[in-house]
Structures are given as structure tokens and as C-alpha cells.
């Protein structure tokens, strides 16, 4: 067990995927005011930015947020999350569908994150 901890402690940085979450389509009425093509990016582990002059609904963000940490990491072959990239907003009238895209990589020093 000590060898595993020593190997883990020797790692000083990690490579993570940068992500873009894009509103792919709205199958109902746009309750929140977002429109297809609106997006936000997650880079360098935790930096969030939206497209200039636009916004991202906090409820749509809450729906996709639990998946982002996993999508930032390398996944094992056959992992369902490697092939699934669509997420639905919980508003039943809106039926807003978002797509998670990997856009690049960032190297993050483990000492800089918790």
C-alpha cells in the first residue's frame, strides 16, 4: 500500500481535457432565453467562461455540472461517458439539449488545485 501512495505522491501535475458545452437544440419553448449555439467553456480544471455578450442558465449548468469532472479526464475504453455527450436541461417545457465537447488539453499543477 505504501508503494501506491508513494507513486501517487510523486505525481505533480495532471493533463485534463478542456471542455465546451454548447446548446445543441431546444425542442420546446426557450424559457430561459438561451438559444442554439450558446456555450460555456471549462478550462484549466475550473475556469468557466461564457460566449461574449451571452449567458448560460444556472439550471442548465446544474444539469451538466456533475458530468464535467469525468469528461475532463481520460476514460477507459468502453466507458459509456466516452460516447455519450448529450445532456438535457431539467425544464420540461424547454427541453434544451446540450452537447459536451472536448476542445483541447490543459496541464494543471496538483499543488494549485484541491
pLDDT tens, the chain, 114 aa long: 555 555 556 778 889 999 999 999 999 998 899 999 999 999 998 999 999 999 999 999 999 999 999 999 988 888 888 888 999 999 999 999 999 999 999 888 877 666
Q: Are 38 and 22 in contact (CB under 8 A)?
A: yes
Count up the domains in the chain and report the number. Answer: 1
Pairing between β-strand 13-26 and β-strand 86-88 as defined by DSSP bridges = unpaired
Render the burial of 80-94: b for 16+ CB within 10 Å, e for the rest: eeeeebebebebeeb
Is 42 a domain residue? Answer: yes
Q: Give the model's pLDDT for residue 58.
A: 94
Strands 96-109 and 39-43: unpaired
Report if residue 3 sits inside a domain. Answer: no
Residue 99 domain flag: yes
For residue 8, is it within any domain? Answer: no
Residue 4 domain-assigned? no
User: In this structure, is residue 7 part of a structural domain?
Assistant: no
Query: Interior CA angle at 21 toward 107 and 58, to 5°?
Result: 110
Question: By residue range, what is the domain housing residue 103?
Answer: 13-112
Q: What is the pLDDT of residue 22?
A: 98
Asked if residue 78 is part of any domain, the answer here is yes
> Is residue 5 situated within a structural domain?
no
Annotate 63-74 with three-state secondary structure.
HHHHHHHHHCCC
pLDDT at 96: 96
Amino acid at each position: 500500500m505504501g508503494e501506491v501512495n508513494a507513486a501517487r505522491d510523486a505525481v505533480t501535475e495532471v493533463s485534463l481535457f478542456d471542455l465546451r458545452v454548447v446548446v445543441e437544440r431546444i425542442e420546446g419553448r426557450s424559457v430561459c432565453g438561451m438559444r442554439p449555439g450558446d456555450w460555456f467553456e471549462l478550462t484549466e480544471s475550473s475556469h468557466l467562461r461564457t460566449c461574449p455578450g451571452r449567458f448560460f442558465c444556472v439550471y442548465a449548468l446544474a444539469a451538466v455540472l456533475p458530468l464535467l469532472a469525468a469528461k475532463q479526464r481520460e476514460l477507459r475504453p468502453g466507458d459509456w461517458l466516452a460516447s455519450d455527450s448529450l445532456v438535457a436541461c431539467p425544464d420540461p417545457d424547454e427541453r434544451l439539449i446540450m452537447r459536451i465537447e472536448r476542445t483541447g488539453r490543459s496541464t494543471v499543477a496538483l499543488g494549485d488545485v484541491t
